[in-house]
A and B are shown apart, each in its own frame.
Chain A
Amino acid sequence: MVSLYPHHIPVTTFQRVLLGIGSSVAALQDPYRHDMVAVCGETTASSALEHMKKKMENNATGTRILKEKPRISSSSVDLKVLRGLPPNTLGRQYVDMLNKYQITPDSRLPVKFVDDPEHAYVLQRYREIHDFNHLLLEQPTNLRGEVAVKWFEAIQTTLPMCWLAAIGGLARLSKKRRKLILQRDLLWVIPAAKEAKFFMNIYFEERLQDDLDDIREELGIQIPKSRN
């Protein structure tokens, strides 16, 4: 078994099963173990990753992303420039969100347990653009917002870990918030996810100066005006 990309750890089937069980138990016991959530995702992802890759290959921009393999990090995204952009641009909203929630573009863990390098990149890319989905869907990064985004991602990517988070997260919400999210947010998020184009085909790094509404229109995401 050969290591095919940085951080790649090839595993046998037996190890993969053990890792899947162990990481899901660890993640359930301590949801702050982000590394275990990540590992659990990696051990269950395979067929979803093929599906995602195909959707990218059927799109010109998606194909280019797969070829160029851009990575989002504080060295590839110039935050100073973004701070100077007009308020409703993707870039400005992104840097405002990073500041507000005290997060950095570097906080995503590298993929380790996916054996196909192309699939590994697809999963890595998914992790790194997740923050942009919060912006596209106008969802905060609290539990309720995460659940809404996960429903969108689960429907579009079919990743088992997304479904687990979407349904598990729903169960974890308080009764009041669960009712709110079911009767308000998910009512438009779910159809939007089904009808919108595949979010991973947006080359986010090239769209930072674009207006968020334009990107939403291009994808086919309509945020209802009557919210709150």
Chain B
Amino acid sequence: MFLLNRGKAIVLSCASNSQASYYTTAKRLDENYTHFGYKTVKTEEKAGKVLDVFSSVASKYDMMNDVMSGGLHRLWKDRMIQKLNPDNKAVLLDCAGGTGDIAFRFVNYVERRHSQFTDHPNVTVCDINNDMLEVGKSRALERGVSLNWVCSNAEELPFPDQSFTCYTIAFGIRNCTNISKVLQEAYRVLRPGGRFVCLEFSHVSNPILSKIYDTYSFQVIPVMGEVIAGDWNSYQYLVESIRKFPAADEFKQMISNVGFKVVAYEPLTFGTCAIHSGFRLK
């Protein structure tokens, strides 16, 4: 009778979370279907939908990050690079790195503590979305930094085995259709001794703070998305996708399952996000 605004999407029932219960119908449990925020979509369609979201948000991405997190995202990313603690021999692959936040921090960190990189910094930024990469490229131009930019899906990287010593992914992995595949690829392209570091939204453990955080996420963020970026739906998707992502312990287990060792995580800002880290030892 009435069209739902995502075309062919089949949507979840609203029983679980009354604040985010915007859509109703039957639930499908099927390996051919996956989640897209709180909606259920065909697995093969998810990547395309994520692409659309990020094409839409690309131009206002950095500004919205600042507004939504009150600037905190900068501190989280600083901590991520600090934890990675790279030197000037490090070879970085930054996945879902579109606008370059992690890549630029990596370069600054190394150049401040060690002598300059011998060539241009050994950094490859990879993203499924070209619009995001374009934003990153223009930022790199402004800074006079020369990096490699590759458009690719993190589930199928176009790099040979053991090409990198560091693999980072910040606020990107929750958007990937098959997280285990991304982790497997990360393992494959890292050299023995290489480190995987992931910064991602997590679950707030404190129940009172969690309620405040939920209210802020669902009541305020989509409104900000509409007013600042003219795009309610993309930011609705973003806050829903955070809740669909596995909790820190479960994600830690997933990382271990593909072969990483010494897997640990560090919650930040009451669990709003967490940095997971693991090593490929052999």
Residue ranges of A at the interface with B (Cβ–Cβ < 8 Å): 1-10, 12, 14-15, 18-19, 22-23, 25-26, 33, 35-36, 39, 112, 117
A19 close to B223 (CB less than 8 A): yes
Q: Mark B34-61, 1 if CB is under 8 A from A, else 0.
A: 0000000000000000000000000000
Residues of A within 8 A of B24 (CB): 2
B258 within 8 A of A: no
Say yes or no: A3-B22 contact (C-beta < 8 A), given A9-B232, A9-B233, A112-B232. yes
A2 close to B222 (CB less than 8 A): no
- 3 closest A-B pairs by beta carbon, nearest first, are A22-B227, A18-B223, A6-B3
Give B36 Cβ to nearest chain A Cβ, in Å: 15
B227 close to A36 (CB less than 8 A): yes
Q: What residue of chain A has the Cβ atom nearest to residue B228's Cβ?
A: A26
Residues of B within 8 A of A10 (CB): 22
A4 close to B2 (CB less than 8 A): yes
B219 close to A15 (CB less than 8 A): yes
B5 close to A22 (CB less than 8 A): no
**Residues of chain B from 195 to 226 with CB closer than 8 A to chain A in the complex:** 219-220, 222-224, 226
Count chain B CB atoms within 10 A of each CB in A12, A15, A35 and give the residue with the most. Answer: A15
Number of A-B contacts (CB under 8 A): 53
Give A204 Cβ to nearest chain B Cβ, in Å: 25
Say yes or no: A35-B22 contact (C-beta < 8 A), given A15-B222, A22-B223. no
Q: What residue of chain B has the Cβ atom nearest to residue A23's Cβ?
A: B227
Give A163 Cβ to nearest chain B Cβ, in Å: 22
25 example contacts (A-B, Cβ-Cβ < 8 A) are as follows: A1-B14, A1-B22, A2-B22, A2-B24, A3-B4, A3-B5, A3-B22, A5-B3, A6-B3, A7-B5, A8-B5, A9-B5, A9-B232, A12-B219, A15-B223, A18-B220, A19-B227, A22-B223, A22-B226, A23-B226, A33-B230, A35-B230, A39-B226, A39-B227, A112-B232
B21 within 8 A of A: yes
User: For the complex, what is the distance from the CA of A65 to the CA of B222, rounded to whole Å?
Assistant: 34
User: For the complex, what is the distance from the CA of A33 to the CA of B220, rounded to whole Å?
Assistant: 20
Give A11 Cβ to nearest chain B Cβ, in Å: 8
A5 close to B222 (CB less than 8 A): no
Residues of B within 8 A of A25 (CB): 227
B23 within 8 A of A: yes
Residues of B within 8 A of A33 (CB): 230
Say yes or no: A1-B21 contact (C-beta < 8 A), given A6-B3, A6-B5. yes
User: For the complex, what is the distance from the CA of A112 to the CA of B231, rounded to whole Å?
Assistant: 11
Residues of B within 8 A of A18 (CB): 219-220, 223
